[in-house]
Structure 1
Amino acid sequence: MASEYASMRIEGRTPRAPVRRIGAWKLAYADFLTALCALFIVLWLASGATSEERSNLAEQFGAKPVSDVVASQLSALDQAEATLRQSELLSAKTGNVSLTREVDGFRIELIDLDHTPLFETGEESLNERGLWLIDLASQAIIRLAQPISIEGHTDSQPVMRPGYSNWELSAGRANAARRALIATGVPAELIAGVTGLADTRPLRPGTGDLPQNRRLSIVVHIDERP
């Protein structure tokens, strides 16, 4: 690059040698060093920050929050599963609850165990523990805001009541769950169906007599269409 020169003359003295002006590239280099120093300062500050503080720092520089970026990359099923697994219904680890992912949703099983039953023997109404689990399920369902179906299941032990079978018992328990969900805040319009299936769908084939088959299934239907 050609250099520019100028002669400097001080009155009363002989002319001095030409003085070279500062080139434009030096100014650009100084700006670069300033920016580099700023970058190192930001990296040093970020190295000792928590993840939340780093996220806030990134937002100040115009970046999207990490949670927004991650959420945009998840499918509706993934987001629903994350919501369910973070809910108190699953995190309480009661032993009465299981979650299964299906093609178009999730199956939440509320299982009546011998040592922690959800119903009294042969009765349709939920006991105190059953109502507590329904309340926890309700909180998760409200957050999802997706349609659900409720299924009632029994074991293969016959009901010792004239004119009353496991079909009536399973349907009555499913309806009891429906009423309890609505009472704890689930909008009635989210409930797409209520079914009593008696002992026709054991948890595992050939184990219809096991107490674990006495359960309520809440099926969450997820629509992934845009």
Structure 2
Amino acid sequence: MRSRGKEHHTTIIKRSARKSQEGIHGGAWKVAFADFTLAMMALFMVLWIMGAVTEEERKEIVSLLNGGDAIFEGHSISPITQKDAGGELTIVGKRSPGKTDAEDAENEKTLAQQAKQGESLDSVNARSNSEIEDLARIIMQITSAYDAQANLKMEIVPQGLRILISDDQKREMFQRSSAILTPFFDRLLTKFAPELNKIDNKIIITGHTDATRFRDQVLYNNWNLSGERAMQARTVLTKGGLDPSRVLQVSGMADQMLLDPNQPLSSANRRIEIMVLTHSASESLYQFFGQHGEKVIKPLVDKISKTP
């Protein structure tokens, strides 16, 4: 018989396993916080840039992000047309619709004129693109009729239609070291002229030479030669029916833009380039040089007149 007050109790001690501290002191949260901080910095940078630049600069940035190029940048050249299974000419290398809206917006004067006629901006852009594509087909048809496919390449670029006419092993476009067009290319350019005149787009004509150098570089050099050849092409085109006011610029680039840099004396480098500009590209060129001197000469005249 057990006595009260002297009962024995068994004490049970439970030991729990020590919890891992890795979850508290790990580095995963630091990576997440760094990503969040970087994202916020990027957001603030975008907001700052949008507030700091003008509307025109924003459009230019968007154009560059979409793959747009400057007027004078080079592009890879490939034929713009090819025959499909049915023998029809089709356009290759066409611009994506997303770029067209940004790159081919009409200048203010053209938009005002089209608005008076009740034509929307979308229809203006669509008509302009369609006209350039139709012109490319016609140029290729004329080239095929003259069996001159080896002498002509075209591509549609954001600035418009780029037409390259060059020598090959069979035909020379100009007499060697001169700006005299050979009869074949004289006839070919004459055929192009009325077709170029059918659309309301400005044109740039540029002459290019190979890397062959004249003995007396001071007396005469590739700059002189390329410029004179571009002027000769302009003369033939205007005589063939091209409105002289359509020609916005005539220039020579000597051997600075070789199509075949690995063979600087190649016939492919001796060429004339005709760029049929979109309205926005010609407007950009006007802004660059100052249309009729409005943005270049007048501010300087005003500054001089105000000088005491």
Establish whether residue 89 from structure 1 lines up as the match of residue 139 from structure 2: no
Quote the Cα distance in structure 2 between the aligned partners of 1:76 and 1:100: 16
Match of 2:180 in 1: 125
Match of 1:146 in 2: 201
Match of 2:111 in 1: none
Tell me the TM-score normalized by structure 2: 0.46
Quote the Cα distance in structure 2 between the aligned partners of 1:165 and 1:89: 33
The answer to whether the 8 A contact 1:138-1:186 is kept is yes
Q: 1:79 aligns with which of 126, 131, 141?
A: 131
Structure 2 CA distance for partners of 1:119 and 1:85, relative to 1, 3 Å? same
TM-superposed CA distance for 1:204, in Å, is 3.7
Show CA shifts across 1:107-142 (max 9, x none). Answer: 111112231111111111111012012112213201
Quote the Cα distance in structure 2 between the aligned partners of 1:91 and 1:211: 20
Match of 1:215 in 2: 271
TM-superposed CA distance for 1:178, in Å, is 0.9
The answer to whether the 8 A contact 1:84-1:90 is kept is no
Q: Which of structures 1 and 2 has the larger relative contact order (alpha carbons within 8 angstroms, sep 6+)?
A: 1
Show CA shifts across 1:4-49 (max 9, x none). Answer: xxxxxxxxxxxxxxxxxxxxxxxxxxxxxxxxxxxxxxxxxxxxxx
Establish whether residue 111 from structure 1 lines up as the match of residue 166 from structure 2: yes
Amino acid across the alignment from 1:173: R
Aligned residues: 155
Quote the Cα distance in structure 1 between the aligned partners of 2:200 and 2:279: 11
Amino acid across the alignment from 2:152: V
The answer to whether the 8 A contact 1:150-1:219 is kept is yes
Establish whether residue 177 from structure 1 lines up as the match of residue 230 from structure 2: no
Establish whether residue 199 from structure 1 lines up as the match of residue 241 from structure 2: no
Q: Which runs of 5+ in 2 are unaligned?
A: 1-122, 282-308
Show CA shifts across 1:74-119 (max 9, x none). Answer: 4522431222213343443412111111112011111122311111
Q: Secondary structure at the match of 1:143?
A: coil
TM-superposed CA distance for 1:160, in Å, is 4.4
Structure 2 CA distance for partners of 1:151 and 1:224, relative to 1, 3 Å? closer
Query: What does residue range 15-30 of structure 1 map to in structure 2 within 5 Å?
Result: none
Quote the Cα distance in structure 2 between the aligned partners of 1:202 and 1:76: 30
Q: Which runs of 5+ in 1 are unaligned?
A: 1-70
Show CA shifts across 1:163-218 (max 9, x none). Answer: 11111100010001111111111111000001110111111443322111100000
| CA RMSD, 1 decimal | 2.3
The answer to whether the 8 A contact 1:77-1:224 is kept is no
Amino acid across the alignment from 1:195: S
